[in-house]
């Protein structure tokens, strides 16, 4: 087996230089490079810039930091802006947790520094601390309804109110209100992070959220397929099964 012409072209465009055989595991690398950079890259409706952003999100979620560094460089090479890459990682912080977010941000900051990009990048927050609950609810409720409050209301003590507050103010208020990225991209990256960590319960409502934010179902599908070689097939297939059963008229969260 050898690299297809399409795989060679995409590898050169993304990473520079002429791709050659891997010195220790040439067969494995030929298989994965042909799958990712020919077959997957040639299928679906999202463009190369979006594919690399999805890949950055997946690798950040999985904490595969050497590959994240390579793909952060690739994302820049094909025209994504540093602040777009940073914001994609910020958007998934509520889903992957802060330790993994900090590791991912540190990795891409290494790339930015090596490329002479001045840090810190410009701020992108748009709400005051005391506005987070209100502004977060303005985004959350039209897409996800009040199911979160209903589901967690029976938690003991003050947690029945505190957990929904964290989701609304901490998830939507702190992050979904930020600038730079479109609403559609923010929701798409959140979904991809959930796919990568195998958060099965949240997949269905976030497919609906991604569509309500402006993605087509085909774009959502293409993003999940783009993630599949990195997550492994099982997690991606679980999400694709939910997409295949998606009914926009009956997509309430936590149904």
Ordered domains of the chain (ranges, CATH): 26-125+178-244 (1.20.1290.10), 129-172 (no CATH)
Q: What is the arithmetic mean of pLDDT over 24-53?
A: 96
pLDDT of 251 over the 70 cut? no
pLDDT of 255 over the 50 cut? no
Residue 122 · residue 83 · CB < 8 Å? yes
CB-facing half-sphere around the CA of 232: CA atoms within 13 A: 5
Residue 226 · residue 191 · CB < 8 Å? no
DSSP 248: T
Token pair of 243 as six digits: 């997409």
Nearest partner of 36 among 65, 3, 64, judged by Cα: 3
What does the alpha-carbon distance between residue 80 and residue 82 come to, in Å, rounded to a whole number?
7
Mean pLDDT of the chain: 94
Tokens 């990195």 belong to 230
Q: What digits encode the pLDDT tens for the residues 175-186?
A: 999 999 999 999
Give the number of residues written for the chain. Answer: 255
Cα angle vertex 205, ends 238, 244, to 5°? 45
Nearest partner of 145 among 132, 173, 164, 126, judged by Cα: 164
**What is the Cα gyration radius of the chain?**
19
Residue 62 · residue 230 · CB < 8 Å? yes
What pLDDT, on the 0 to 100 scale, is given for residue 119? 98
What does the alpha-carbon distance between residue 179 and residue 117 come to, in Å, rounded to a whole number?
20
Q: What is the pTM of this model?
A: 0.94
What does the alpha-carbon distance between residue 68 and residue 76 come to, in Å, rounded to a whole number?
12
Q: What digits encode the pLDDT tens for the residues 189-242?
A: 999 999 999 999 999 999 999 999 999 999 999 999 999 999 999 999 999 999
DSSP 125: -
pLDDT of 165 over the 70 cut? yes
Q: What digits encode the pLDDT tens for the residues 59-88?
A: 999 999 999 999 999 999 999 999 999 999
Q: What digits encode the pLDDT tens for the residues 123-147?
A: 999 999 999 999 999 999 999 998 8
What pLDDT, on the 0 to 100 scale, is given for residue 254? 39
Burial 90-102 (b: 16+ CB within 10 A, else e): bbbbbbbeeebbe
Nearest partner of 93 among 67, 57, 121, judged by Cα: 57
Q: What is the arithmetic mean of pLDDT over 149-176?
A: 94
């Amino acid at each position: 087996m050898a690299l297809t012409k399409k795989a060679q072209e995409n590898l050169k465009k993304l990473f520079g230089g002429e791709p050659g055989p891997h010195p220790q595991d040439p067969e494995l690398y030929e298989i994965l490079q042909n799958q990712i950079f020919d077959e997957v890259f040639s299928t679906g409706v999202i463009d190369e810039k979006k594919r690399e952003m999805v890949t950055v999100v997946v690798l950040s979620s999985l904490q595969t930091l050497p590959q994240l560094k390579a793909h952060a460089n690739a994302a820049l090479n094909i025209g994504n802006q540093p602040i777009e890459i940073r914001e994609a990682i910020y958007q998934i912080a509520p889903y992957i947790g802060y330790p993994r977010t900090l590791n991912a941000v540190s990795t891409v900051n290494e790339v930015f520094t090596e490329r002479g990009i001045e840090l810190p990048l410009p701020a992108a927050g748009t709400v005051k601390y005391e506005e987070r609950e209100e502004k977060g609810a303005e985004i959350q409720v039209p897409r996800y309804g009040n199911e979160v409050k209903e589901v967690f209301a029976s938690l003991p003590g003050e947690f029945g109110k505190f957990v929904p507050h964290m989701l609304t103010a901490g998830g939507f208020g702190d992050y979904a209100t930020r600038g730079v990225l479109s609403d559609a991209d923010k929701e798409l990256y959140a979904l991809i992070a959930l796919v990568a960590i195998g958060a099965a319960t949240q997949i269905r409502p976030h497919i609906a959220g991604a569509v309500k934010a402006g993605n087509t179902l085909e774009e959502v599908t293409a993003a999940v397929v783009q993630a599949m070689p990195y997550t492994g097939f099982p997690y991606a297939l679980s999400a694709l099964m939910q997409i295949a059963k998606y009914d926009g008229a009956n997509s309430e969260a936590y149904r």
